[in-house]
Structure 1
Amino acid sequence: MDVSLLTAEDHAAADRAQQVLASPFGFSPSLYRQMKSWQDFVVGVEEGYDTTWVWEYFSDLGCRDWLHDAWPLLTPALQMLCQPVIEGWDARYRAATGPIEPQDSHVSSWSAQGRWWHDRFPLLIDHDEEIPLPASWSPSPKRLM
């Protein structure tokens, strides 16, 4: 789909999503910014996630959460435009990550909400041995040499 075909209603929907999903601290990224953040995050995971920031990993997934929350606010035209891009980055994220093993027999609350990306961990890491990895990252990811 050609971006030039988007209507004023489409642009207004993207603006509305930005306003509705603004953080309480005034941070209100655009649809484009969140799609770019998801792309950048996935590329970082593919190249080897820097575990210096391991405890930020799940927070970094917030850009994908934002896209999930914005989806019902977008017009069908915007969804058609964004869907193949998001699905492409989702597929690359799945390929670069492994499933987190559940700690008990219950389905994770993230999966129950349709947020499958929270139930995965990077398969390739740039790891400082002094920084412990989350127990759920098992088997241990491969380390960059």
Structure 2
Amino acid sequence: MDMEALSADDYESVHRASRGLAARYGMVTLNAMMEAWEALVEDTEEGFDAAELIWEYADRLRCRCWIAEAWPVFTDRIRAARQAELDALDARFQLATVPLNGQPDDARWHSRRPWLIEGKALLELPRS
């Protein structure tokens, strides 16, 4: 993202989103949440241990929920600067996951789970 092209309004939109969501997510930044989403996508592609899946995966999805809630608050310029990156991460996540039972195949991140799971849960959570 070309930071020099951003205006004070652009930066303020990011700060406004961060402040508005701080009660639920803590005070975080767009860059931090995008990095957290990328890390979760990478981990999802590599696979989860069954124990990690239960305790860690759902909590880590909060970064993508934050992005979704913050996105409308950002200026058009911020969204345009980050859209391709977000779309690419979302596409990778889609490929590394399967829908939860009863969800459509195009379900969003909160309705999907990793398809690569090691341990006992592999038998309980078939890959569609």
Please report the TM-score for the alignment, with normalisation by the length of structure 1: 0.76
- CA deviation profile, 1:15-64 (whole Å, cap 9, x unmatched): 1111101135x821111000000000000000112322222322211100
Determine if the alignment matches structure 1 residue 39 to structure 2 residue 38: yes
| Matched residue, 1:120 | 112
Equivalent residues of 1:10, 1:75 under 8 A apart: yes
Tell me the SS of whatever aligns to 1:121.
strand
Q: C-alpha separation between the residues in 1 aligned to 2:116 and 2:127? A: 12
Q: 1:100–1:138: 8 Å Cα contact kept in structure 2?
A: no
**RMSD over equivalenced CA pairs, Å:** 2.3
Which amino acid in structure 1 is aligned with residue 7 of structure 2? T
Q: Which runs of 5+ in 1 are unaligned?
A: 109-114, 141-145
> In structure 2, what is the Cα distance between the partners aligned to 1:17 and 1:128?
39
- Counterpart amino acid of 1:61? L
Q: Secondary structure at the match of 2:126?
A: coil
TM-score, normalisation: structure 2 = 0.85
Equivalenced residues, count: 125
CA distance in 1, matches of 2:14, 2:49: 32
The structure having more radius of gyration, on CA atoms, is: 1
Number of the residue aligned with 1:15 = 15
Higher helix residue share:
2
